[in-house]
Structure 1
Amino acid sequence: MATSLTTGRPWRVILAFSIPLLLGNVVQQLYQFVDAIVVGRHLGVTALAAVGATGPLLFLLLGFAWGVTSGFAIPIAQAFGAGDDAAVRRSVATGTLLTGATSVVLTVGAPLISAPLLALLQTPVELMPEATVFTRISFLGASTMMFFNYLSAIIRAIGDSRTPLVFLTISCALNAGLVVLMVGPLAWGVAGAAVATVVAQAVSVLLCLEFVRRRVPVLHLSRADWRVSRADIAEHLRVGLPMGFQASIIAIGTLVVQVALNALGADAVAAYTTGSRVDGLAVAFLSSLGLAVSMYAAQNIGGRRPDRVRRGVVEATWMAVAAGVVLGALIIAFGEPMVRLFVGDGSADVVAEAHLMLIVNGCGYWALGLLFVLRGALQGLGRTVVPTVTGIVELVMRVGAAVALGAMIGFVGVALSNPLAWVGAILLLVPAYLRESHRLARLPVDPAQATETSTLAIIGPVDGSMVVDAVVTQPVRVIR
């Protein structure tokens, strides 16, 4: 079911939209928990470290693909907010063609360079065989990941964040079951973990397509919809490529962190891998808010409600910062027993270093929450330059900290690279969004959208101005 995000109290709309995203992130993190536990317990710490060593490389290329497909959904959300169903379908067709082209390039080229890139990253020799197998299989199945992400993104773009959650849950449950089977009884090693992910995502793609066919007529494409213009392609690339490059820029910083970890040995790699699994659960809510704000801003700017964009970002910022403080406290208090789930007895050094990483990250979650919300808002508004530049800032901060501090104080110096990168990014994002907010304040509001009922609430002052927001008492736009 498609639903407009252009009506209702902004914080409630954003929170309601983000909850399925949060649950989806938690489900995905729980799968990664199972994956790491199965690999670590059945194959040992070395195999766990080998899989962990592939993370930054996979993030570099697959993260680019994820960013691109998420960017392709922004014009869809803007068109849906404007009520232009023909533009929605044309945008879906454009994004599908570009997603297909990107997946072909990635599937053909990435497996060929996996081993050389792992060697360039100074992956420990004892990890190379299993790390190479895992990356090659993951890249060969990259098209399933890309299309699952794209289909989920376009469903969310029309206001439905629940259905992608259902399919993601099915995918993760299937993935977990296949990992247990392929790593355990079938004894396929780390290759089994990679194959399980590809198969599960392929099933999810089929489920998304069937759902769209049966339940979402606004996304049913005709032959005419596939006649995309150069302008359509240029607009999608204008939004999608910077979001993809932004993810890759961040990934480059993560690659440098991985090099620094590799120099510290297999225990440090294993500690960072297990710590990242726990850290991912805490970050899930914050990233969900950022994605919700992105879709919210896109629909509302398309529906000519700049006043709702400004108010929604302010309310989401308070939610994100408060959540960051609470999550940081929880992860610091309970991080160590969670880390122990991944490793057996005799791994005290791994547990200690992983918990240290969680303490460092937990102290900076408030900054990460602010980063996600402001970056998501700018991306939803189609402002891609500043978010991309913040990715470069994160790269510089993360690389500088990992290399310099890692050499001086070891693992804790590498761990500090994350919060330092977050703070560096928000120092640029805050003034950039404030400038955008002042621009939005000067834009006209669609009278038909702003007077949905006879009851109006005066909200203010915000940035020195009064914002009029409708109190909605009638059904929102719904397409069944």
Structure 2
Amino acid sequence: MPLTLRARDRQILRLAVPAFGALIAEPLFLLTDTVIVSHLPAPALGALGVASTVLSALVGLCVFLAYGTTAAVARQIGAGDGRRAVRQGMDGLWLAAGVGLAVIVVVWPLAPYLVQLVGAEGELARQAVTYLRISLLGVPSMLLVLAGTGVLRGMQDTVTPLLVSVGAFVVNAVLNAAFVFWLGWGIAGSAWGTVMAQTLAAGVYLTMMFARHRAPFRPDPTGIRAAGSAGIALVVRTACLQAVLIIATTVATRMGDQQIEAHTIVSRVWTLLAFALDAIAIAGQAITGHALGAGDAAGARAATRRMVVWGIGSGVVLGLLVLMIGPFLPALFNADAVVAGELSAALWVVALLQPVAGVVFVLDGVLIGAGDQGYLAWAGVWTTLAFLPAVLLVVTAGGGLVMLWVALGVWMAARMVTLGLRADGGKWLVIGA
């Protein structure tokens, strides 16, 4: 029997509200780091922005560990095979550990070149390398958290990830403040605090998998290879997203010190908003995967339509919220007059883009939940190509930070068009486990 509109809303909110709290924990980690580091002498804040861009790109490429695991586990739960769901979740955890160790080995010697690629030089580059290399030690834990979160989301449990995220956020804030201000470790203290908080969170997820769900410890090479193969298309999709963000940061870096500082703050706000909107997308992944696994294509489409409505409404609310709190942000980040001016102007663009972002994130989550990774990969390529002429115009015309964020708006509009066309069709409605 089809769900009523009220029942559909309850289903969405039951998953989305706790997911919202868990999702914003990661940008709140970065936002807390930004507030603390902003009180250090320059160029510490700029170095944090550069290093975080590289780190976010690396970890972002591995987001398939959460998204792919959510979709796979949700399909098995929908099909009534809980044992296979746990096995696939464990395969995702083993894959996360292996990828995390590989990232440390590969990226550690490349750290100086990566920060230079973003445009950092001199003392800015030195501090960025320090933050990046320390943070690399926490990458395996970050990826285990991603995979563990994906397993529980697939089981339609978004409350437990919320509790873990809140605990990790509190630990991160306390340790960062202690290491930076009390012990005087500078930007390195901020990195160490985050590494320790992420490691604690990973330990909680592993304990839960073995204690609560009695997951088998022994790795399954076949299952791990299957999980990795399924994630390749999502890696391409995410690489395109990260390429756009890295290009934007590189352009902002070359505009000047005040511009990269303002861009760092605006990016933190954008990330916080994006994770808030992604809460509905997380619900979309779990609901879509579960419905298609149970053979309910009509239910998946009905849920998609309703979640789009929620995405647009949430975007409008968040946009108004940005305009309300915007005037208070320069003081929070200890910004000088030039940075404050750049920040205030760019936030208007961010606010206007939120309804578009609401649609984009919801449809992205729905198609991930449906396992439509191949289309998402190609869509990522085409939307990146749409962004390049816009950002090139900013560079050649000498545009400022506001025009750079307008170019990012062109990219978001292209994403909305490509995802909307796919969702309107029926090729993604593939049923079965």
TM range (shorter): over 0.9
CA distance in 2, matches of 1:98, 1:444: 26
CA distance in 2, matches of 1:156, 1:19: 12
Q: TM-score, normalised by structure 2?
A: 0.93
Structure 1 residue 423: deviation in Å? Answer: 0.3
Aligned with 1:206 (options 203, 207, 213): 203
Aligned with 1:154 (options 151, 161, 174): 151
Alpha-carbon displacement from aligned partner over 1:34-91 (angstroms, at most 9, x marks no partner): 22111111x1342111101123211221111223343133211211111112311321
Structure index of larger Rg: 1
Residues 237 and 51 of structure 1, relative CA distance in 2, 3 Å threshold: same
Aligned with 1:391 (options 377, 380, 388): 380
Aligned with 1:38 (options 36, 39, 50): 36
Aligned with 2:324 (options 324, 329, 333): 333
Number of aligned residues: 429
1:285 aligns with 2:276: yes
Residue in structure 2 matched with residue 166 of structure 1 by the alignment: 163
Residue in structure 2 matched with residue 305 of structure 1 by the alignment: 296
CA distance in 2, matches of 1:120, 1:135: 14
Alpha-carbon displacement from aligned partner over 1:452-480 (angstroms, at most 9, x marks no partner): xxxxxxxxxxxxxxxxxxxxxxxxxxxxx
> Residues 233-382 of structure 1: matches in 2 within 5 Å?
233=224, 235-344=226-335, 347-382=336-371
Aligned with 1:102 (options 99, 102, 111): 99
Tell me the amino acid that sits aligned with residue 31 of structure 2: F
Alpha-carbon displacement from aligned partner over 1:327-360 (angstroms, at most 9, x marks no partner): 112212321212420115xx01111111222111
Contact persistence 2:29–2:194 (CA under 8 A):
no
Contact persistence 2:46–2:264 (CA under 8 A):
yes
Runs (4+) of structure 1 exceeding 4 A deviation are 443-446
Contact persistence 2:319–2:354 (CA under 8 A):
yes
Residues 133 and 420 of structure 1, relative CA distance in 2, 3 Å threshold: same
Contact persistence 1:401–1:413 (CA under 8 A):
no
CA RMSD of aligned residues (A): 2.3
Structure 1 residue 213: deviation in Å? Answer: 3.6
Contact persistence 1:293–1:377 (CA under 8 A):
yes
> Residues 25-104 of structure 1: matches in 2 within 5 Å?
25-41=23-39, 43-104=40-101
Contact persistence 2:75–2:432 (CA under 8 A):
no
Residues 305 and 339 of structure 1, relative CA distance in 2, 3 Å threshold: farther
Structure 1 residue 284: deviation in Å? Answer: 3.0
Tell me the amino acid that sits aligned with residue 234 of structure 2: M
Structure 1 residue 376: deviation in Å? Answer: 0.9
CA distance in 2, matches of 1:302, 1:19: 23
Residues 282 and 61 of structure 1, relative CA distance in 2, 3 Å threshold: closer
Residue in structure 1 matched with residue 188 of structure 2 by the alignment: 191
Structure 1 residue 371: deviation in Å? Answer: 0.8
CA distance in 1, matches of 2:322, 2:408: 15
Q: TM-score, normalised by structure 1?
A: 0.84
Tell me the amino acid that sits aligned with residue 288 of structure 1: A
Residues 368 and 24 of structure 1, relative CA distance in 2, 3 Å threshold: same
Structure 1 residue 417: deviation in Å? Answer: 2.3
CA distance in 2, matches of 1:34, 1:182: 13
Tell me the amino acid that sits aligned with residue 417 of structure 1: A
Contact persistence 1:82–1:303 (CA under 8 A):
yes
User: Any unmatched runs of 5+ in structure 1?
Assistant: 447-480
Tell me the amino acid that sits aligned with residue 140 of structure 1: L
User: Any unmatched runs of 5+ in structure 2?
Assistant: none
CA distance in 2, matches of 1:146, 1:358: 31
Residue in structure 2 matched with residue 461 of structure 1 by the alignment: none
Contact persistence 2:66–2:149 (CA under 8 A):
no
Residues 255 and 227 of structure 1, relative CA distance in 2, 3 Å threshold: closer
